């Protein structure tokens, strides 16, 4: 469970995010208030910065999950899945809801973003225990 596992978990989570947010793009853009161009796409769609920052953030989360799993002895597929799901559901999702509430943004945004956090927590946890 080293850097290759962290990298694969990051790539899988990033790819899942492309699918997930692609499928939920319209409700997410509506809830987030992202400025759109005449073509209906976000004005910053061609800016690579959000994608680079996203990849780095996922890498950091996957790396810390790997470290926590190693210290906790989480080494089986089932434990990795449940632990990753728990991290997404009980650590990340509550912070997303907290930030959404204080920023007075639509709750639909918190639900969509939390769904991604829970799913990618499970994806990372599972992949990290496969190596």
Per-domain residue ranges of the chain: 3-128
DSSP summary character for residue 42? B
Q: Which of 96, 124, 98 is nearest to 28 (CA)?
A: 96
For residue 47, the Cα-to-chain-centroid distance in whole angstroms is 20
Give pLDDT, residue 25.
93
Residue 1 has pLDDT above 80, yes or no: no
Residue 34 has pLDDT above 80, yes or no: yes
């Amino acid at each position: 469970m080293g850097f290759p596992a962290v990298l694969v978990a990051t790539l899988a989570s990033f790819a899942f995010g492309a699918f997930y947010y692609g499928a939920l793009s319209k409700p997410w853009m509506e809830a987030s208030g992202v400025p759109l161009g005449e073509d209906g796409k976000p004005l910053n769609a061609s800016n690579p910065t959000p994608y680079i920052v996203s990849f780095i953030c996922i890498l950091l989360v996957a790396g810390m999950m790997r470290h926590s799993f190693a210290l906790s002895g989480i080494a089986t597929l089932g434990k990795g899945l449940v632990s990753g799901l728990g991290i997404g559901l009980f650590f990340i999702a509550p912070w997303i809801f907290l930030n959404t509430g204080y920023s007075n943004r639509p709750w639909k945004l918190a639900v969509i973003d939390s769904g991604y956090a829970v799913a990618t927590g499970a994806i990372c946890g599972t992949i990290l225990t496969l190596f």
